[in-house]
Amino acid sequence: MKCTSKRLTALCIAFVIAVSFAGCGRLEYDMAYNPDLEVSGFNVMSGRSSGTAEAFSANLCVVTEDIMDDEAVDMSQATAAVLFDVNEKAVIYSKNAHERLYPASLTKVMTALVALKNGSPDQVLTATDAVNITESGAQLCGLKEGDTMTLDQALRVLLINSANDAAMLIAENIGGTAEHFVEMMNEEALRLGATNTNFVNPHGLTAEGHYTTAYDLYLIFNEAIQYETFNEIIHMTSYQTTYYDKDGEAKNLSFETTNLFLRGDYQAPDNITVIGGKTGTTNAAGHCLLLLSRDAAGAPYISVILRSEARDVLYTEMTDLLEEINK
């Protein structure tokens, strides 16, 4: 722009100066220099803030070392074990809490958790040939390709009967593919802080790279018991249901829980009530058990034992571990 008069020249100079100080197209924001405001020039300069962030572990039990009473609890035939007071966030017992081990069917707690978060109870699931699991000794409910049942039914079969074919049914229908569902499981594990966990299948049959820890199982189980449906299922002693084959014909299913505390084969210590949990057994994982229990006042406790030598030993160990609640 060319200035052709003194008056116009003065206006041009004023414009240039204004632009120079204001910045071309820049917006100005004022920040109050006030110590009484949470966000202000004063607090930026002084580094003072009235807000604090809650620690991730604020509502969790944290294990930093083994805490064992060998005279009271003989855990010599188990590789790892933990007992936590959920309300007080207190570690009562801990042995090898962070050692990576095969979890066997305790894996299914995460399978149920991911399904509860991403599915609906009345969602109808359809089986593919992926339910045809041929591994020797694998627990199955007998699903065939084309069979249908709701997610609510499948979760009960999964957790009460520990059926591996039900795990595949859930994984494929909730995740689109079993592979994607496993990715969802691992994402949830990281979200919960279970950083020593990696799943490669939704059922827990032995596979390379499939592992977790007693502590990580506590984190996963502690999240799962926030769901009313999960709590209801793990407390059931038996289940009967009807589902349908590919032709619409009814098929009946009936079974008891795999949890021997709930079946009455083993008794919890006085003043302790076993609410429920999950069992798991493979040759590689040994005998495993994860429980939610309550004391006489109704306070909740989570206990985990991994890789015990035998089933009867496992339940004896768990009984001794739960006795620590009374001390």
- Distance separating alpha carbons of residues 126 and 7, to the nearest angstrom: 85
Catalytic one of 105, 293, 303, 308: 105
What does the pLDDT profile of the chain (327 residues) look like in tens digits?
Answer: 444 444 545 555 554 444 444 444 444 444 454 545 544 444 444 444 445 445 667 789 999 999 998 888 999 999 999 999 999 999 999 999 999 999 999 999 999 999 999 999 999 999 999 999 999 999 999 999 999 999 999 999 999 999 999 999 999 999 999 999 999 999 999 999 999 999 999 999 999 999 999 999 999 999 999 999 999 999 999 999 999 999 999 999 999 999 999 999 999 999 999 999 999 999 999 999 999 999 999 999 999 999 999 999 999 999 999 999 999
Q: What's phi and psi for 216, nearest 5 deg?
A: -65, -35
Q: Counting every residue, how long is the chain?
A: 327
Q: At the fourth CATH level, which superfamily is domain 78-326?
A: DD-peptidase/beta-lactamase superfamily (3.40.710.10)
Is 89 an annotated catalytic residue?
Answer: no
- Distance separating alpha carbons of residues 304 and 213, to the nearest angstrom: 10
Catalytic one of 108, 278, 293, 303: 108
Is 108 an annotated catalytic residue?
Answer: yes
Calculate the CA dihedral of residues 83, 86, 89, 92 and round it to 10 degrees.
-20
Q: Which amino acid is at 247?
A: D
Is 278 an annotated catalytic residue?
Answer: no
Catalytic one of 94, 95, 162, 293: 162
DSSP 94: E
Task: Please state the pTM of the whole predicted model.
Answer: 0.83
- Distance separating alpha carbons of residues 111 and 286, to the nearest angstrom: 20
